[in-house]
Structure 1
Amino acid sequence: MAVSRRVFLASASALAATAGPAAPARAVPEDPHHRIPVSPDDTAEDLLRKASRVRPTARQIAWQRLERTAFLHFGVNTFTGLEWGTGDEDPDVFQPAGLDTDQWARALRDGGFELAILTVKHHDGFVLHPSRYTRHTVASSSWRDGRGDVLRAFADSMRRHGIKVGVYISPADENQYLHGVYANGSARTDRTIPTLVPGDDRTPPRFHTLPATDYGAHMLNQLYEVLTEYGPVDEVWFDGAQGHIPPDKVEKYDWDSWYALVRELAPDAVVAVTGPDVRWVGNEGGLAREDEWSVVPVRERDHGRTDYALPYDAPDMGSRDALVAARPVADFLQWWPAECDVSIRDGWFYHPDQRPKSVEQLTDLYFRSVGRNSVLLLNVPPDTDGLLPAADVARLREFRERIDRELPEDLARGARTSRTPGGVTVDLGGEREVDRVRLAEDIRYGQQVESFVVEAYRDGRWTEAARAGVIGASRILLLPEALRARRWRVRVTGARGGVRIAEFGLYRSRV
């Protein structure tokens, strides 16, 4: 049965007449060292000095400590078999009769995940909560008699099991294109958020005045719902997709207004991956670069969008050479760490003929993401019953158990340690076998290490065990063979500024 999907937007003037004057959004002050301006006139030495001064914000530090985060792609595509919906789906196709978000949370917790991101709205525009601003939503399905709210269940379950909540709200919206809102060519004008609609019983503590197109205001209103009615949110995930629309129809996204509203309503949330806090690593395979920098050159475009100064898939994003290469177009050097997204199955949404990746594949992804100064974002799609498939649940547990065996007891914990300006030496008190080395800088003071060597004291001399480039928040090295030694050291051979090693862990795997 066809469902009417009109969007009701009250005018700002009418709203002001009934609810008092609208107040402008207040941007949350950023650490002034989060991004440092650069210019084409900067020398290579200028760029290096500035890069050494860039620091993360508190929210970025907290995010990088998570290591493993989860994605949950769920929506009408789960039931139609598509990866990218069309926007004209009958909402009644959405029928997750056995929805159990506590099962999701238990599986993710047992898999070692501390944050999960739900696709509240994918490119098709179908919304997993009963939004006031579209009829393409769970409220238009007969599922749970139109009273279902996946976002509510998800947020409550995650928090109940100690998992932080993230939301993905796609900028692209095929449904709103069909209804003349998305990419309609409207001008940016001041909009009052939230925009109250007929029958709206909300009494917001304050209103926000932000410039936006018709669709930009639609997004702002949905963001307001999600960020004010479902408890604290720790990550807001945007991509830059435009949708399957004619090439002459382009929606210029109101990034500056969206960012400002998120900062106001969820000040502790990181904005990723088209956002100022977290960047997309550049592929959907879960793989970071061998040397992944958190300090990278960026430029601002399209109403304040934080964008790459170099190609998003460039093999080098932040070395000395990369800083110089980006100099003609870069506006800032910014702390912009990488998130590595990948699905446990071939598709992002559930398909019954697909199977999860092996433990060996997932373990390799861990070492090539978390082990390379990045955060792994692993998608685990719920099925048509509203459950994580049993095979995926088992694989998550096996994955966590495998990582626990790869990195069991840190042999250096409690050992005698001495520090020099260029490194750390650890005395284990006796010879121990080591085949895994984990390092971290104290990123409160930036990312400084450009190259280093790990050495073991054997047969009366220091012997090289491994060497690599950057460290950052997390670097894990797999030694080609286990080495036995009592004394170990990391020696920094290249750096941008003063180095502070926060972790020098030594492990013997039990694989």
Structure 2
Amino acid sequence: MDLSRRVFVTSAAVVAVTAGLPALPATAADTDLSRIPVGSGDTPADLVRKASRVRPTVRQIAWQRLERTAFLHFGVNTFTGLEWGTGDEDPNVFQPTGLDTDQWAQALRDGGFRLAILTVKHHDGFVLYPSRYTDHTVASSSWQSGHGDVLRSFADSMRRHGLKVGVYISPADENQYLHGVYANGSARTTHTIPTLTEGDGRTPGRLFALDATDYGAHMLNTLYEVLTEYGPVDEVWFDGAQGHIPPDKVENYDWDSWYTLVRTLAPDASIAVTGPDVRWVGNEGGLAREDEWSVIPVKENQYGRTDWALSYDTADEGSRAALVVAQPRTDYLQWWPAECDVSIRDGWFYHADQQPKSVDELTEIYFGSVGRNAVLLLNVPPDTDGLLHATDVVRLREFRERVDRELPEDFTSGARKTVTSGGVTVDLGQEREVDRVRLAEDIRYGQQAEGVVVEAYSAGAWAEVVTAGTVGASRILRLAEPVMARRWRVRVTAARGAVRISEFGLYRSRG
């Protein structure tokens, strides 16, 4: 879309802004615009007004633009056949003798992915680099004579092929539970991070005094290693699992201290999905809600953990009605966009008897995630050789090619656009058959649209083609049948505040 002419909406009227949008405050990313407090005295109108004022941070905008990201579940489970390890595995079981992380990176890049997240530590506690703080690592395996470092190879390969680097570090740790560290009931005390070990050799430029349990300090030291020794990290992925420990044993995670360390050592990294930047969509099928809001009600739990005011699997997280229902449990309205995780195979780790999803299935997932204001996180697990399986590599390429065919040439590129009091009209110069419409708001100014209609001009009149509720950073609408027209327009029919449309694309899929 011609970004020299943008539109905003007041109520349901579209007004032209021909000189471009006003600049954001220079300190927008450092203010509290991403979360606004909610009080018991707020009226429904107050809640909507506050929601309309919430803005994403610079790091959240950068994350949203990735659209397709990759997960790589790899570890001892790859060799034991388990999905959740036990923590007492013999490290020597880890033998990826053909490890080729350049092959991973090339396959992911060719598949259209822009960031990859490696399971540096899963719930079993096995670490894919030689850590100072546990023996349950690649250094205890005979693989590469104990000198292997998957994280180093992964990070170098991703950057070499132009992908951003993400790390998954599970808060749960079965191995540390077996060693009496995880869920040992210890009180939170102040720890010095990094905690130097005998013969450490490091001379940190800064030491951190952070409150944590015994295990919380272990996690802080792990985070410090990962975030200071392997180059820039763009996403740190936490889940909230406790592992397979007795139900009366619980580790209360030191989220505030973990967040502080990540923010300091990797200020550009998004913290997901148990984190303040990105939330879990609520299922492992890769599908967002039909109307997915990035501004939702949240509360703070357990040492600063960002949590849902409503349940994680609530069908409606952010509408006007949801804001009111959640109000008694809401501390903030927060920009907390959805990430849709799903595995290309049935399991998260590689299992030889499983096959990847079909291109049709992956395409439906794409439209149900990226097409609904979310980011797709697709897991592609390396096999026991340390490679992405050839079948998966082919499927990734086929998936990207299919998406390219679904959204080929944008007919509005270079077309004449007219902004009127009724909407944004595009004249394609000739009749075009259209069956895909892509819309986006300029989310620097929040998520405002609550209803839109796309219309085509035919036989002397405008006719409704398709409608939608929310838009956000990306909304892709598929028409039941292609529509032939020269002139098209989009109108905002309901909104919380000023809507800036940054994309109005028209496509004809190629199957």
TM-score relative to the length of structure 2: 0.94
The residue aligned with 1:137 is 137
Establish whether residue 259 from structure 1 lines up as the match of residue 259 from structure 2: yes
The residue aligned with 2:403 is 403
The residue aligned with 1:492 is 492
SS at structure 1 position matched to 2:31: coil
Offset, 1:421: 5.8
Establish whether residue 45 from structure 1 lines up as the match of residue 35 from structure 2: no
Q: Is the 8 A contact 1:435 1:509 kept in 2?
A: yes
SS at structure 2 position matched to 1:368: helix
What amino acid maps onto 1:447 in structure 2?
A: Q
Pair 1:217–1:421, CA change in 2 (3 A): farther
The residue aligned with 1:334 is 334
SS at structure 1 position matched to 2:251: coil
Aligned counterparts of 2:155 and 2:173: Cα–Cα separation in 1: 23
The residue aligned with 2:57 is 57
The residue aligned with 1:13 is none
What amino acid maps onto 1:459 in structure 2?
A: A
SS at structure 2 position matched to 1:463: strand
SS at structure 2 position matched to 1:433: strand
Percentage of pairs with the same residue:
80
Offset, 1:247: 1.1
Offset, 1:118: 0.1
Aligned counterparts of 1:215 and 1:420: Cα–Cα separation in 2: 60
The residue aligned with 1:501 is 501
Aligned counterparts of 2:108 and 2:324: Cα–Cα separation in 1: 42
What amino acid maps onto 1:79 in structure 2?
A: F
Offset, 1:318: 0.2
What amino acid maps onto 2:401 in structure 1?
A: E
Offset, 1:425: 1.1
Pair 1:420–1:442, CA change in 2 (3 A): farther
Aligned counterparts of 2:438 and 2:367: Cα–Cα separation in 1: 11
Residue segments in structure 1 that go unaligned for 5+ positions in a row: 1-27
The residue aligned with 1:96 is 96
Establish whether residue 295 from structure 1 lines up as the match of residue 295 from structure 2: yes
Offset, 1:241: 0.2
Offset, 1:30: 3.5
Pair 1:469–1:136, CA change in 2 (3 A): same
The residue aligned with 2:178 is 178
The residue aligned with 2:463 is 463
Deviations 1:83-105 (A, max 9, x none): 00000000000000000000000
Residue segments in structure 2 that go unaligned for 5+ positions in a row: 1-27
The residue aligned with 1:365 is 365
Pair 1:149–1:498, CA change in 2 (3 A): same
Aligned counterparts of 1:233 and 1:55: Cα–Cα separation in 2: 23
Aligned counterparts of 2:243 and 2:39: Cα–Cα separation in 1: 34
Correspondence 1:446-461 to 2 at 5 A: 446-461=446-461
Q: Is the 8 A contact 1:424 1:501 kept in 2?
A: no
The residue aligned with 2:476 is 476
Aligned counterparts of 2:108 and 2:437: Cα–Cα separation in 1: 26
The residue aligned with 1:438 is 438
Offset, 1:129: 0.5
What amino acid maps onto 2:254 in structure 1?
A: D
Offset, 1:419: 2.2
Larger RCO (alpha carbons 8 Å, 6+ apart): 2
The residue aligned with 1:12 is none
Q: Is the 8 A contact 2:29 2:58 kept in 1?
A: no
The residue aligned with 2:356 is 356
What amino acid maps onto 2:196 in structure 1?
A: L
Offset, 1:423: 3.2
Q: Is the 8 A contact 1:40 1:329 kept in 2?
A: no
Offset, 1:231: 0.3
Aligned counterparts of 2:195 and 2:426: Cα–Cα separation in 1: 60
Offset, 1:40: 1.9
Aligned counterparts of 1:497 and 1:354: Cα–Cα separation in 2: 48
Q: Is the 8 A contact 1:91 1:137 kept in 2?
A: yes
Offset, 1:418: 1.8
Correspondence 1:381-400 to 2 at 5 A: 381-400=381-400
What amino acid maps onto 1:100 in structure 2?
A: D
Aligned counterparts of 1:405 and 1:76: Cα–Cα separation in 2: 38
Establish whether residue 319 from structure 1 lines up as the match of residue 315 from structure 2: no
Deviations 1:360-401 (A, max 9, x none): 000000000000000000000000000000000000000000
Q: Which moved more, 1:329-338 or 1:33-42?
A: 33-42
Establish whether residue 210 from structure 1 lines up as the match of residue 218 from structure 2: no
Aligned counterparts of 1:29 and 1:217: Cα–Cα separation in 2: 29
The residue aligned with 2:120 is 120
Offset, 1:424: 1.5
Deviations 1:301-350 (A, max 9, x none): 00000000001000000000000010001000000000000000000000
Deviations 1:226-272 (A, max 9, x none): 00000000000000001111111110000000000000000000000
Offset, 1:138: 0.3
Q: Is the 8 A contact 2:74 2:118 kept in 1?
A: yes
The residue aligned with 2:12 is none
Deviations 1:106-153 (A, max 9, x none): 000000000000000000000000010000000000000000000000
What amino acid maps onto 2:319 in structure 1?
A: S
Pair 1:122–1:422, CA change in 2 (3 A): farther
Aligned counterparts of 1:419 and 1:443: Cα–Cα separation in 2: 20
Aligned counterparts of 1:330 and 1:208: Cα–Cα separation in 2: 32
Deviations 1:268-310 (A, max 9, x none): 0000000000000000000100000000000000000000000
Q: Is the 8 A contact 1:422 1:493 kept in 2?
A: no
Pair 1:470–1:337, CA change in 2 (3 A): same
Q: Is the 8 A contact 1:38 1:47 kept in 2?
A: yes
Aligned counterparts of 1:278 and 1:142: Cα–Cα separation in 2: 38
Aligned counterparts of 1:421 and 1:269: Cα–Cα separation in 2: 41
The residue aligned with 1:10 is none
What amino acid maps onto 1:300 in structure 2?
A: E
Offset, 1:420: 3.9
The residue aligned with 2:16 is none
SS at structure 1 position matched to 2:362: helix
Offset, 1:29: 7.5
Structure 1 stretches of 4+ with a deviation exceeding 2 A read 28-31, 419-423
SS at structure 1 position matched to 2:219: helix
Aligned counterparts of 2:157 and 2:250: Cα–Cα separation in 1: 38
Aligned counterparts of 1:479 and 1:85: Cα–Cα separation in 2: 45
Establish whether residue 195 from structure 1 lines up as the match of residue 199 from structure 2: no
The residue aligned with 2:220 is 220
The residue aligned with 1:162 is 162
The residue aligned with 2:22 is none
The residue aligned with 2:378 is 378
Aligned counterparts of 2:433 and 2:301: Cα–Cα separation in 1: 52
Deviations 1:185-207 (A, max 9, x none): 11111111000001100111110
Q: Is the 8 A contact 1:418 1:424 kept in 2?
A: yes
SS at structure 1 position matched to 2:329: coil
Aligned counterparts of 2:271 and 2:30: Cα–Cα separation in 1: 13
Aligned counterparts of 1:499 and 1:29: Cα–Cα separation in 2: 20
Offset, 1:32: 1.6
Q: Is the 8 A contact 1:44 1:320 kept in 2?
A: yes
SS at structure 2 position matched to 1:479: strand
SS at structure 2 position matched to 1:350: coil
